[in-house]
Amino acid sequence: MADQFDTWRALLASKTVALSDSEPASGYFRLRRGDTWTPVAIWRDDDGTVFAMRGADYVDPGEVWPAAAKNAVTYEAYEAATSGKGWPDDAPALPFTAETEAVENPRAVMGNNATTGDPAEDLRLELAGERELARTFLAAPISSDEEADRVAVWAKRVSALRSRADAAFKAEKQPILDQARAIDDRWRWREDADALVKRLKAHVLPWLQKKEAEEKERQRVALEEARRRQEEADRLAAEEIGSDGGVSANEALARAVEAAREAAPQRTGAGRTGAKVSLRTVQEVVITDAAALAAFYAGMDPIPPDLREVLLKLARRNLSSGVTPPGITVTSKQIAA
């Protein structure tokens, strides 16, 4: 006569088994409820009546089957779980120890699991415990499937801790962000002041350009007069006689110096001290040969870091769209994710 647990044993051995949705297999299993696993037992009495337990509760077998078929466990694992010892692939529990929390929190007392009332501090201490457990665990290589499974569960638990920390962080910071945005909105009109300043200066630009043109013409005439007076001074100095108008060589030289001073450029502007608007020359750069510009920077040794970052970003974007640009090497490596 067939043993009612034969199908369960086959499932444990990862054998291909024909299962019926309406006929539960007797054995030991587990079902996920939220982030935890709940032990499940299914069996038949002598007259063929099927019974099922989920945790400590009797349930209709249809509530756990056929979902339980995907997660057969050993009787020893079932017994450990029902006795509160957890599953073999569970991440290690976080006991209160002097080596972890007492160091992190000098106010901690052995045996006291009370929270501080501060979410940031509570979660920080929880992570400190995780790090301490991980320090011991990571000191030795993984030597079994159960340990490998434990890593996956453990990583998820720490990730969940980070998610809880993110949520608490956001909850604490959000009112401040909202207040900051409200302040930004209330004072955003300041940008209108910048815009008006630009409009005013743009409005005076044609006038300043006109004044600049007039100044250049004045300079041209003044320079010509200065040149003429210098030539006259030189001539009189060489002849050592007065000019037709009775001007001496020294007077002619003084007039030449004054004319040169008058020819000096004068800055064009508007306003007064502390409120001046003047013409300023700025550079506008337009790329006319992108290939030549790129070649110039690419030829530098080393390539500028910001250019390298831009090139990597463009290359990754091309790779994601199925295009491999020249000049790169793509390698694959495995990571635990």
CB 165 within 8 A of CB 174: no
- Band the pLDDT of 249: cuts 50, 70, 90: low
**Alpha-carbon 92 to chain mean position:** 32
What pLDDT digit, counting tens, does each position of 264-317 carry?
Answer: 777 777 777 677 788 888 889 999 999 999 889 888 988 899 999 999 999 999
| Whole-angstrom distance, CA of residue 288 vs CA of residue 17 | 71
What is the per-residue pLDDT for 246?
Answer: 56
Environment class of 99 (CB within 10 Å of its CB; exposed 0-12, middle 13-18, buried 19+): exposed
Which pLDDT band, with edges at 50, 70 and 90, does 136 fall under?
A: confident
**Averaging pLDDT over each range in 119-128, 250-259, 279-288, which range is the top one?**
119-128
Least confident of 184-198, 260-274, 318-332: 260-274
Peptide bond into 141 cis (omega under 30): no
Q: Average of pLDDT values for 121-142? A: 91
| Long-range contacts, stretch 161-169, CB < 8 angstroms, 24+ apart | 161/123, 161/126, 161/127, 161/130, 164/123, 165/120, 165/123, 165/127, 168/119, 168/120, 168/123, 169/120
Question: Among 117-121, 246-250, 279-283, where is mean pLDDT lowest?
Answer: 246-250
| Residues of the chain above pLDDT 90, percent | 48
Sequence ranges of the domains in the chain: 6-82, 98-182, 196-269, 290-317
Quickly tell me which residue has 């993984």 as its tokens: 142
Q: What percentage of the chain has pLDDT greater than the value 70? A: 90
- At residue 246, the 3 state secondary structure works out as coil
**Average pLDDT for the chain:** 85
> pLDDT digit string (tens) for 27-44?
999 998 877 899 999 999
**Is the pLDDT at 253 greater than 50, yes or no?**
yes
**Whether pTM exceeds 0.85:** no
CA angle 237/240/243 to nearest 5° reads 85
Distance CA 9, CA 320 (A): 46
